[in-house]
Structure 1
Amino acid sequence: MHSNGGLGGGMGSDADVDALAALVADAEGVSDAARAVQIREVRVLAAAGVLAEKQAAGSSERVKAREMALRGIAAELAGVFVATDRTLQRRIDEARDLVENYPVTMAAWEDGRIVRGHVRVIQEVGCLVPVEERAEFERLAIEKCEGETPNRVREAVRMLAERINPRTFTERHEDAAAGRCVQVQPGPDGMSDLIATLPTVIADGIVDRLTRQAREIINARAQADAAGESAAGSEVDSEAESAEGDGSSFVDDARTIDQVRADVFSDLLLAGTPALDPTGTGDGNGTLGAIRAHVQVAVSALTLMGQDEGPADLAGRSPIDAATARELAGNATSWDRLLTHPVTGTVLECDSYRPTAGMVRLLRARDRHCRFPGCRQPAIRCELDHTIAASDGGATHVCNLANLCKRHHDVKHHTRWHIRQLAGGRLVWTSPTGRTYREDAAPPLVAFTVAAPPGPGVPPF
């Protein structure tokens, strides 16, 4: 666990803070002006689509006439926007869909309650919702978007749409999974993109395992470098000194984590094992092969018991189908049982069917991701931080701990950002210019309450 050891360097003077405050004020003005221009552009493009429809009215070949009219208008506007007519035609269709089918979203955008990114999320996901349910979906989605960044709410909005859709997520997932495939898209300079279309939980697990293996390799590299420096500084005979000086005792490896991940991925697919395993000793196998993927899934008791086919939540990233969630639960060596607040959904208590580090599990379940505003780094890759430093008397207790990724843990330590933790895991961040950002503990996207007591022989959850 880590604690905030006090204010660090690099924070700047009061004059710097005043200059930053002036920049923030300018940024607010720019943001408001940009929003107004974006909205005006959408309405102009939507009007272009209506004009094309009007021009085609009464034609015997209305579909073709509308297409030709739309192409002509798009070509005209393409010169203004300095874009291709195909791009403008697509943007016209998107703008008209937004204006005509998402009026609640447009109104919230014009009022400054949401930003362009939120609008895109709602429009992209809204196609899953029946027309008669669209207004209610918009209302609930906007509530989720307010005060959150678009990337943070994307999966919450998607989960909302999935639950409103009359066809179960499991049914749709089975159809989609039939299209799984691997394809190569050639790129420049002798490179290509290898694209695997897979169920989300498998894709996320693959990336997690590659990341864990890459970090193991990088950690071993650091240890080898340290050992090499230590050996170079010691007194040895000339023959040993020569053997060590040529770098034969360890490999000179300066690859980034992305490069290591790509290399391990290639080795595993081509040969079944990494070509270089710096964690191995002598002729023995290293630890890379033993590393397994970890995924964090929230699934309701009703889904586990087969009484609900609603989607489960993959660490706030994406919904997964009920059948996959049940399979993961059956293969899990341990799992957590959560008690959530019946109204807010905030995680109140967590226990496990096997003794574990309960506090860590509770905080992972409560936080789900880094608790800095807007960050989505999963909690399983974060560090536990004392809100009030242990050196300042802060308790090692859930009411004084929160998950922060390495980047934002450093921000808390070494800049003028401050943090307070309130009841229920709510964090209040204060920026160097005095602006405050509230970070509520996100309720799981999956409901953990039941409508009625379980029947005989059914364990309570």
Structure 2
Amino acid sequence: MEALLDATDDQMALLADLVESLSVADATVNAMMAARDGLLALAGRLAVDIAAQGDHPDRGDMTTRTVAAEIGQALRVSDRTVERRMGQASVLVDAFPTVWQAQGAGRISAAHAHVVIEAGSGLTDPAERAAYAAAVLPLAEEESPNRLRPLAKRIAERLRGSSIDERHKAARQRRRVWAVDADDAMADLHLHGPAVLVHAMTDRLAQMAHTIRTENRREAADAARSGIPFEPDTRSIDELRADLLADLVLTGVPTAHDSADGLLGSISARVTLTVPVLTLMTADGSPGSAESSLGLGNPANAHEGTTSTHNGQASAHEGPTSNHDGQTSTHDGRASTHEGTPRLCGDPAGVHGAPTTGTASREAPPKNRDAQQLVTATPSRPTHSGEASSHQRASLPPASLDGVIPVDASTARMLAAHATGWDRALTHPITGSLLAVDRYRPSEELRRHLRTRDERCRFPTCGLSARRCDVDHNQAAASGGETSADNLSTFCRRHHMLKHHSPWQVAHHAGGVLEWTSPTGRSYVDRPPAPHTVVFAPPAEPWTTADDLLNAAHAPF
């Protein structure tokens, strides 16, 4: 009651004007969003009409993709996002026109419209949808979206003609699992499935977590009575549930789906990490190990750097090259979780050690089986005195998952410790551009080069990882196109099909630069991502110490 007692008449009048202006602005914004939905729905109709003229067997799917890609490039968003918005707009405009009109008139917000459509999505009969909209719109004009949701669901349930059994049978076909990247090297795993199974899974995880907690407390009490040192498990129930789920998924065997010869049980998880090798070389926390591994300060032993792996141990010998090119290596192999930890062995080299970025392969082992996994590592930078400052370490890029998602150094080092093979990516130490990826098999070498260069689908705005993409000839081999990095790019299956079955055209320029031309003649350039490596400032004088080299290192961004 006392909150505004001290306010003057002018301040209260100003507050009233602000509230009125914000109401008008909000209504205007929602009206403009309704107008955008109308345009998106119109674009969807246009795609269907164009496809119908040619009687396309895909029922307009490729035409819709083409139109979405055209709009997406103009708006600088993914064409998948545009296609999803087109679908949502079509439902709003075509299935619930009165709701769309109410939003356009500023009577309800876009959030209200979303709640109304979501709750009424199960209504398939036009008469049912009309009755539902007529009943729910007056409530939407009075209630907030969160209070409207249960009311709208109640009205939709009353009007539905199908039973819960029929609706559940249809809904089961939409069950799926997907991951969403989060901050701080974390991600979220989502499962959409039958409620009984999801709650049963949650309950089993909770029982296991509480059992671990109870047993740990009992062991701690026994140790205390016996005077035996005991390190308790301090994980929370939430942490235990998350760790148990990861353990079950990565090491468990799907007995209800596995074949007689256990094919599914033999499948292991794979991840791809990349990190400049300098961080890996100080993985033991001793900055001096980087100087030792680089072999700097001994110009009498100047030779080309190499990297190799054998029997679960990696040894890196770095030396100078005439143009100060950086190098990175990777060799595939299978590694057991019980194999020896890789070590970086110092070999006297020259004064111009080349920076490298390692990418190793390893899979999460199911039940102690050997497995293969993809990893990359980066070391922190030592000073001349042998002590690395936090500022220097922070200036180096961290490990990354699929070249995009940052990964903490301890996880990267742990995975690298069990990797028997590495891909070495040769990068220029000044510009950081990718020069080569060496490997024993030429065809695989080229594929690795493309995955390392492209990192993702090369259609503008698409971010699908390159390891999940197709390798495509930009100029068809049948018409004389070379099978080389200058004529190959990674495209996800969606945009691979778009390139070949729509008016979109692509030209491959030097350095892996792609120029796309849309059906309406607009041009969009897609450049390879900046390589995940360390680059060096050109020296005014030759480097003679580790300090000189490492102080010149900086991230390429």
Same fold (TM over 0.5): no
TM-score, normalising length: structure 1? 0.42
Q: Identify the structure with bigger relative contact order (alpha carbons < 8 Å, sequence gap 6+).
A: 1
Higher helix share: 1
TM-score, normalising length: structure 2? 0.35
